[in-house]
Amino acid sequence: VKMLQQSVDSSNIGFTPLVVVELASDTKEEAITWLLSRIRDKQQNGGNGDGFFSMAECQYIIKHELDTLRAQDETHVPGHTQAKLYPGKSIIRRLQSKGILVQIFPLHEQEELKRLSFSWYKKVKLSLQPLDAIRHYFGEGQALYFGFLEYFTFALVPMALIGVPYYLFDWEDYDKYVIFAAFNLLWCTLILEFWKRCSASLAFRWGTLSRKKAFEEPRPGFHGVLGFNPVTGREEPLYPNTKRQLRIYLVSLPFVLLCLYMSLYIMMIYFQMEGWALSVHNEDPTLWTGILLFIPSIIYAVIIEIMNLLYRVAAELLTEWENHRLESSYQNHLVLKVLVVTYLLLATLLITSQILNQIMEAFLPYWLQRRRNKKMIRKVQTKRIMEEKELPLEEQVRLEADMSTYLGTFDDYLELFLLFGYVSLFSCVYPLAAVLVVLNNITEVYSDSFKMCRVFKRPFSDPAASIGVWQIAFEAMSVIAVVTNCALIGMSPQVKAYFPESEIQLILWTVAIEHALLAFKFILAFLIPDVPKHIQIKLARLEFESLEALKKKVTLCSLTSLSQSLIPGRRNILQVTLYIINVWVLENTVCKNSKIKQK
Amino acid sequence: VKMLQQSVDSSNIGFTPLVVVELASDTKEEAITWLLSRIRDKQQNGGNGDGFFSMAECQYIIKHELDTLRAQDETHVPGHTQAKLYPGKSIIRRLQSKGILVQIFPLHEQEELKRLSFSWYKKVKLSLQPLDAIRHYFGEGQALYFGFLEYFTFALVPMALIGVPYYLFDWEDYDKYVIFAAFNLLWCTLILEFWKRCSASLAFRWGTLSRKKAFEEPRPGFHGVLGFNPVTGREEPLYPNTKRQLRIYLVSLPFVLLCLYMSLYIMMIYFQMEGWALSVHNEDPTLWTGILLFIPSIIYAVIIEIMNLLYRVAAELLTEWENHRLESSYQNHLVLKVLVVTYLLLATLLITSQILNQIMEAFLPYWLQRRRNKKMIRKVQTKRIMEEKELPLEEQVRLEADMSTYLGTFDDYLELFLLFGYVSLFSCVYPLAAVLVVLNNITEVYSDSFKMCRVFKRPFSDPAASIGVWQIAFEAMSVIAVVTNCALIGMSPQVKAYFPESEIQLILWTVAIEHALLAFKFILAFLIPDVPKHIQIKLARLEFESLEALKKKVTLCSLTSLSQSLIPGRRNILQVTLYIINVWVLENTVCKNSKIKQK
């Protein structure tokens, strides 16, 4: 492997290398020269950011610059005629798709990594995670994930504390049951609302809360005809929204619905198999028929797992093909596709659990744990060496290039989402669910942090203001939890005993209470502000100060003359001016009327 | 009546009078001098807004200036020792409460009013209302109300068109019934979503879409200790939020709940009375017992009407007492209080309608119409003269001072809300509801516009970006409509016939479909963007240009030195700078790394 180590090559002139760009061994010399000149073209004489940016921020900027490197009039990569280019095509992406560029990754900083890992996972401790340090090293997206993991674990503690006595003592008591369900509901709503506030506080501290989506650059995979962005006026690829909508509604949506239908169909087959196994077992119960009882569930679990993997690949391809302009929009559509199927998976778990019962109780956390650990142990054994001694830079680059790539927080969040669903849907039936998830989460903090620091290549930092679409996913789950919990309680024999003669009464009451709970939940979510008051004030002051700065520049008189010279577009100008003078006017009344009165 | 006609007094020096301040006849001369000097104190040398503002905008600015006139070290109004003042107390408000100031109102412009009324209601026409002209004369709040009224009427036309054949032909058909209900549901959701977009378009055209709530001045009735606004740094009264919360949750909430309980209690008594009347009628049916059947409903309607009036007064007093800082917050709490009771009223109508049946069908629109017309006719007869001839200014002021005061759009919206509830809840049962409401709305456009132009004093314009809390109220109603419609369909004999042997099956299916419809509704509301795409782009460009303007002023270097000199508060500064340089940095990579690479 031949490497174009932009940074390493010049390691003797005394600056810290940030990002490695690995090219294939058969790359032509002229392609390298061209790429370097294109990268340098973009650079202009800016200020000097020394000490102002963290290393992760610098790496992010380099990544961004590389991602937005787009072909202008080149028809192909010099020296590689098979790598076609057209105006607006992302150069890096074409190089990657043609195998010329093997990978781009930021380098670890050994010193900082040691400090971070020591304060993070190296010692068993009771203190919180060093979120600011994590953010400084890995960026906001990672830090928010670990913040959420920690918050979620703490939030589960009350549920766990209540769950233990429920499990230990007999809980065949109707009142207790309802109290537990009501607590569960309140808990779901409150933790999600308060997480929004926590997340806003963190994002404010890290300076990402006010990020403007509209100014976001298009994601590297985005392609289209080169044109001018209507907001910023910059040259970038444009892709008509209607075309994307057509792809979503005519291809992706039918595909997802087909998959849902297939899943339901397989579930039905599973139920038939299980019914058959049960009838065999009931006719003549032996050890073998007892084992037979589990076979449908096992086959079903295996099929579901395989189908899930296939579906995941298809979902990623489809979402990529939908050609979303923004990374956030891409994420939203991917998460949506994956989650509709995940909901079904959880619903299946709920139904199958009637049979798997106590086994299931520990199954999900264990299963997730096992999957993760297996991968990790394999990796670590080969990489152990790294931690031991200080390596020369070239050696370090070579080592890190071989480490596997961290594919983003998607799978981590999906796992947390499953656990959240497990607790919120099942904890009425299995009071120990919360305890198990807390234990799982504690090990998860350690294993995830170890994974980030030692197993994977350093990921590029990604500035994030919140956990994004996952907040909505978790909230949707908490709504489903209300419905499910109410149905579970309604079906329980204890509650049924209260309505001995009329099942209709029971159902109507259950539905009425469920509606009241849902209404209460929405009102609660509406009443709790998403951003803490003191941060709202700070943001408002920030905006106020921006407007004040503008006011000093733009005088009303010039605006008046401007608006009069542009009578046909007067309202558009007024839009601008009213926005600016909103505050200005109210301070210094400028009406002709008042001036005359003063005389 | 002795008038301090700020404007009229100096009417000879050739400017247009805008606002009239009417003082009581026994006002001391020194109080007038003091008030005039205080008003003039506030004026500073601003620019000259000649031709830039509409008359309504100028009047709004004057109103704002008067409202924010607050006492500083005066202990009482000069010459009126009974009118005590303390720092931060609104002067105008104290003058009003002590009867020294009778009223403040803006003057009509006869010429413009004639033009407006001619294009608005003077001729029967098929064209739309002149919303821009209405906005120019009355302000955004009024124009949005009339825009909504018009939009709502047009939106009802499809419902009305479908309703007529349902009414004329036999509609005992199950499938048709379900189709009508599904259409109703879709209609409710879609019209509210698209109204948001319409409203955003209008507000954008009028320049109010980007109004900043945080910079809003406190409402005149707001009182508290004089302090400094944490956002703007200006001196204004402050009132602790916790105190307000206590008042809301410990006084207002229990009061509303008590009223709801009482309403329910009265409803129960009504049902008992009606049951008794029915049993009397069934035992021995005569003409008299036939009349007796209606008596409980009539008594109930009268009691409800009286209680509603009392409750409305109490709600206003309570909300005033809660001491909200912003007018919007005051409106929200008042609307909330009034609406919880209104929902109950509508629920009652739904239940009583089983008996009042066909009478009810025309009752609500007629009842609303009657109430409005009665008031109006009385007023107009005495004011007819005004329209006839051009009056001298003094005469005009005297005439307008006697006209009754328009109390805001609250009642108009409440009426539309009742009509919307009537259509969305009842149209399944009474397919003609939409037709009746359309007819009512057409007359309403004419009567409301006439009322605004000729019956009431000109109201102060109020800048509004949307119909505010009413949007939420209408949306809540549309959710309730889904639940109610599903229940009505489930109870209908046609549907019951489909589940002859099992009522449980019927209920479960009804609930399942209701949940699916609700989920569909929320997804639909989520998918339709609230602001049209082209306006989103314009707003983003506006913000982008503001940032660009800021960038030119603030160089990164000065920010760097600033942030380094303020290490302890570094993150706060970074918040400011990241906000500003977000775009800047990505354009001009400033990393040390890239600079060195260039060498």
Per-position DSSP letters for B402-466, written without gaps between them: HSBPP--SHHHHHHHHHHHHHHHHHTTT-TTHHHHHHHHHHHHHHHHHHIIIIIBPPPPP---SS
Confidence at residue B455, expressed as pLDDT on a 0 to 100 scale? 81
CB B104 within 8 A of CB B92: yes
Determine which of A274-288, A450-464, B144-158, B421-435 has the lowest per-residue pLDDT on average.
Answer: B421-435
Looking at chain A, which residue has its C-alpha nearest residue B5?
A597
Residue in B209, B238, B579 to test binding to A, most A beta-carbons within 10 Å:
B579
Q: Which of A575, A587, A588, A599 to mutate to test the interface with B (most CBs of B within 10 A)?
A: A575
Q: What is the DSSP code (8-state) at residue A213?
A: G
Point out the least confidently predicted range of A330-334, A362-366, B217-221: A362-366
Tokens for A362? 């520990």
Task: Kindly give, in sequence order, each residue whose CB lies less than 8 Å from that of residue B339, ignoring residues fewer than 6 positions away.
Answer: B417, B473, B476
Q: For chain B, positions 272-301, list CB contacts with chain A under 8 A.
A: none
More confident residue, A63 or A323: A323
Give yes or no for A232 touching B (CB within 8 A): yes
Q: What is the pLDDT of residues B538-553, one digit of tens each?
A: 888 877 776 666 665 5
Q: How far apart are CA A304 and CA A313, in angstroms?
A: 14
Angstrom distances, CA of residue A537 to CA of A211, B233, B249, B281, B577: 17, 11, 24, 66, 17
B592: chain A residues, CB-CB within 8 Å = 15, 48-50, 58
Q: Is A567 on the interface with B (CB under 8 A)?
A: no
Pairing outcome for strands B76-77 and A225-228:
unpaired
Rounded Cα–Cα distance for residues A76 and A84 (Å): 4
The pLDDT of A566-581, averaged and rounded, is 37
According to the model, what pLDDT value does residue A31 have?
A: 82
Q: Tell me which of A479-488, B286-295, B388-397 is least confident.
A: B388-397
Of the pLDDT bands very low, low, confident and very high (cuts 50, 70, 90), residue B315 is very high
Q: pLDDT higher for A174 or B119?
A: B119
Q: Shortest Cα distance from B557 to chain A (angstroms)?
A: 6
User: For residue B566, what are the contacts with CB-CB under 8 A and spacing of at least 6?
Assistant: B573
A207 and B574 in contact by Cβ < 8 A? yes
- Alpha-carbon gap, residue B364 to B342, rounded angstroms: 13
Q: Are B104 and B21 in contact (CB under 8 A)?
A: yes
pTM: predicted TM-score of the whole model, two decimal places: 0.79
Is residue A85 within 8 Å of residue A71, measured between CB atoms?
A: yes
More confident residue, B535 or A44: B535
Partners of B6 on chain A (C-beta within 8 Å) are: 597
Q: Is A523 on the interface with B (CB under 8 A)?
A: no
Measure in Å the smallest separation between the Cα of B566 and chain A Cα atoms.
13
Candidates A52, A209, A543; nearest CB to B560: A52
- Within 137-166 of A, beta carbons closer than 8 Å to B belong to none
Q: How confident is the model at residue B1 (pLDDT cuts 50, 70, 90)?
A: very low
Burial B296-320 (b: 16+ CB within 10 A, else e): bbeebbeebeebeeebbeebeebbe
Q: Which two tokens mark A167?
A: 């499990």
Query: Please, which residues have CB within 8 angstroms of residue B291's CB and are 6 or more apart in sequence?
Result: none
A210 touching chain B per CB within 8 A: yes
Residue A72 sits at φ, ψ, to 5 deg, of: -110, -75
What is the pLDDT at residue A250?
Answer: 94
pLDDT of A255 reads 94
Rounded Cα–Cα distance for residues A207 and A216 (Å): 16
Tell me which of A379-388, B70-79, B172-181 is least confident. A379-388
Q: Give Cα separations from A1 to A4, A35, A402, A572 (angstroms).
A: 10, 18, 11, 58
Compare all CA atoms of chain B with the CA of A216 and give the residue at the minimum distance: B583
Query: A505 — contact with chain B (CB < 8 Å)?
Result: no
Q: Give whichever of A122-131, A407-416, B579-588 has the largest mean pLDDT.
A: A407-416
Is A65 in contact with B576 (Cβ distance < 8 A)? no
Residues 56-115 of A with CB under 8 A from B: 58, 61-62, 64-65, 68
User: Of the candidates A18, A46, A58, which has its C-beta nearest B588's C-beta?
Assistant: A46
Cβ A153 vs Cβ A474: under 8 Å: no
Cα–Cα distance for residue pair B218/B324, rounded to 1 Å: 8
pLDDT of residue B377: 59
Quote the minimal CA–CA distance from A368 to chain B in Å: 30
What pLDDT does A277 receive?
Answer: 87
Three-class HEC string of B336-367: HHHHHHHHHHHHHHHHHHHHHCHHHHHHHHHH
Q: Please give the residue that has the higher pLDDT: either B570 or A26.
A: A26
The reply to whether A502 touches chain B by the CB within 8 Å rule is: no
CB contact under 8 A, B208 and A578: yes
Q: Distances from the Cα of A586 to the Cαs of A378, B43, B64, in angstroms?
A: 68, 10, 7
Q: Which of A28-32, A380-384, A513-517, A526-530 is predicted least confidently?
A: A380-384
The Cα–Cα gap between A313 and A307 comes to 10
Residue B581 has pLDDT above 70, yes or no: no
Out of A161-170, A394-403, A474-483, A562-571, pick the least confident.
A562-571
Condensed to tens digits (0 to 9), the pLDDT of residues A418-462 reads: 888 888 887 777 777 888 888 888 888 888 888 888 888 888 888
DSSP code of residue A569: G
C-alpha triplet B68, B72, B74: angle, nearest 5°: 120
Q: Is pLDDT at A391 greater than 90 in this prediction?
A: no
DSSP B215: G
Distance CA A4, CA A13 (A): 17
* Cβ contact B537–A40 (<8 Å): no
User: Which residue in the set B212, B555, B590 is minimally distant from A49, CB to CB?
Assistant: B590
* Tens-place pLDDT, residues A219-247: 877 888 888 888 877 777 888 889 999 99
Across B67-94, average pLDDT: 82
A242 touches chain B (CB under 8 A): no
Alpha carbon B229 to chain centroid, angstroms: 27
What is the C-alpha radius of gyration for chain B, rounded to an integer number of angstroms? Answer: 29
Does pLDDT of A319 surpass 90?
Answer: yes
Residue of B nearest to A41 (CA): B598
Mean of the per-residue pLDDT values of chain A: 76
Q: Is A501 on the interface with B (CB under 8 A)?
A: no
Q: What is the DSSP string of B27-72?
A: --HHHHHHHHHHHHHH-------TTTS-HHHHHHHHHHHHHT-B-S
Closest residue, chain B, to A591 (C-alpha): B49
Query: Residues B165-188: what's their mean pLDDT?
Result: 72
Is residue A405 exposed (0-12), middle (13-18) or buried (19+ Cβ within 10 Å)? exposed
> Does residue A301 register a pLDDT over 90?
no
In whole angstroms, what is the distance from residue A261 CA to residue A264 CA? 5
Nearest-10 Cα torsion for A539, A543, A546, A550: 180
The whole-angstrom separation of Cα A307 and Cα A294 is 20
pLDDT at A125: 62
Judging contacts by C-beta atoms under 8 Å, the chain A residues touching residue B543 are 212, 214
- Exposed (0-12), middle (13-18) or buried (19+): which is B399, by Cβ within 10 Å? middle
Q: Which of A383-387, B88-92, B339-343 has the lowest mean pLDDT?
A: A383-387
Question: Does the pLDDT at position B11 exceed 50?
Answer: no
Q: Name the residue with higher pLDDT: B173 or A331.
A: A331
Please give the structure tokens belonging to residue A124. 């068993």
Nearest CA in chain B to A569: B205
Q: From the CA of B16, how many Å to the nearest CA of chain A?
A: 8
- Over residues B395-400, the mean pLDDT reads 81
Question: Contacts of residue B547 in chain A, CB cutoff 8 Å?
Answer: 215
- The reply to whether residue B579 touches residue A207, judged by beta carbons under 8 angstroms, is yes
In percent, the amount of chain A with pLDDT more than 90 equals 12
What's residue B397's pLDDT?
Answer: 82
Contact A596 B15 (CB under 8 A): yes
> Do B589 and A43 count as a contact with CB atoms less than 8 A apart?
yes
Q: Are B145 and B467 in contact (CB under 8 A)?
A: yes
For range A574-589, the mean pLDDT:
36
Q: What was the pLDDT predicted at A593?
A: 33
Mean pLDDT of all residues in A268-295: 85
Q: Which positions 26-45 of A are in contact with B (Cβ < 8 Å)?
A: 40, 42-45
Q: Are A201 and A535 in contact (CB under 8 A)?
A: yes
Q: Which residue has the higher pLDDT, A64 or A4?
A: A64
Q: Which stretch of A43-57, A124-138, B221-235, B398-412 has the lowest confidence by average pLDDT? A: A43-57
State residue A432's pLDDT score: 79
* CA dist list (Å): B498 to A172, B485, B506, B512: 38, 18, 8, 16
Length of chain A: 599
Provide φ and ψ at B80, rounded to 5°. Answer: -130, 85
Token couple for B490: 């489930």
Say how far apart CA B541 and CA A212 lie, in whole Å: 11
Q: Which residues, including other chains, have CB under 8 Å from residue A103's CB and lie 6 or more apart? A: A20, A22, A401, A405
For A370, other C-beta atoms within 10 Å of its C-beta total 10
The SS3 of residue B22 is: strand
Which residues from B are below 8 Å from A541, CB to CB? 230-232
By percentage, how much of chain A surpasses pLDDT 70?
75
Residue A46 identity: G
Instruction: Tell me the sheet residues that pair with B21.
Output: B4, B104
Residue of B nearest to A483 (CA): B515
Dihedral angle computed from the Cα positions of residues A323, A324, A325 and A326, in that order, rounded to the nearest 10 degrees: -150
Give me the residues paired with residue B226 across strands.
Answer: B237
Does B242 contact A at CB distance below 8 Å?
no
User: Residues in chain B, how many?
Assistant: 599
- pLDDT tens, residue by residue, B479-491: 988 888 888 778 7
Higher-scoring residue by pLDDT: B287, A198: A198
| Residue-wise pLDDT tens digits, A33-59 | 888 877 776 554 433 544 567 778 778
Nearest-Cα distance to chain B for A587, in Å, is 9
Q: Of A405 and A350, which is predicted with more confidence?
A: A405
* pLDDT for residue A306 is more than 70: yes
Which among B16, B546, B587 has CB closest to A546?
A: B546
- A 179-208 residues with CB < 8 A to B: 204-208
**What pLDDT is recorded for position A547?**
67
Q: Which residue has the higher pLDDT, A314 or A65?
A: A314
Across chain B, what does the average pLDDT equal?
76
Q: Predicted confidence band at A207 (pLDDT cuts at 50, 70, 90)?
A: confident
Which among A38-52, A498-512, B18-32, B567-581 has the top mean pLDDT? A498-512
pLDDT tens-digit series, residues A164-177: 887 777 655 555 66
pLDDT at A48: 59
Contact A589 B65 (CB under 8 A): yes
Whether B345 and B267 have beta carbons less than 8 Å apart is answered as: no
Examine the pLDDT at B148 and tell me if it is beyond 60. Answer: yes
The answer to whether the CB of B192 falls within 8 A of the CB of B471 is yes
pLDDT at A555: 44
When pLDDT is cut at 50, 70 and 90, the band that residue B150 belongs to is very high
For residue A44, the model assigns a pLDDT of 46
> Smallest CA–CA separation between A523 and chain B, in Å?
11
Distance from CA of B161 to the nearest CA of A (A): 30
Q: Is B585 on the interface with A (CB under 8 A)?
A: yes
Question: Stretch B487-509: mean pLDDT, rounded?
Answer: 81
Averaged pLDDT for residues B105-119: 85
For the ranges A182-196, B335-349, B463-477, the lowest mean pLDDT is seen at: B335-349
Cα separation, B511 vs B345, whole angstroms: 25
Touching check for B507 and chain A: CB below 8 Å?
yes
Q: What is the DSSP letter of A173?
A: -
Of A82-96, B137-151, B239-253, the one with minimum mean pLDDT is A82-96
Contact B537 A7 (CB under 8 A): no
Residue B315 near residue B334 (C-beta atoms within 8 A)? yes
| pLDDT exceeds cutoff 60 at A12 | no
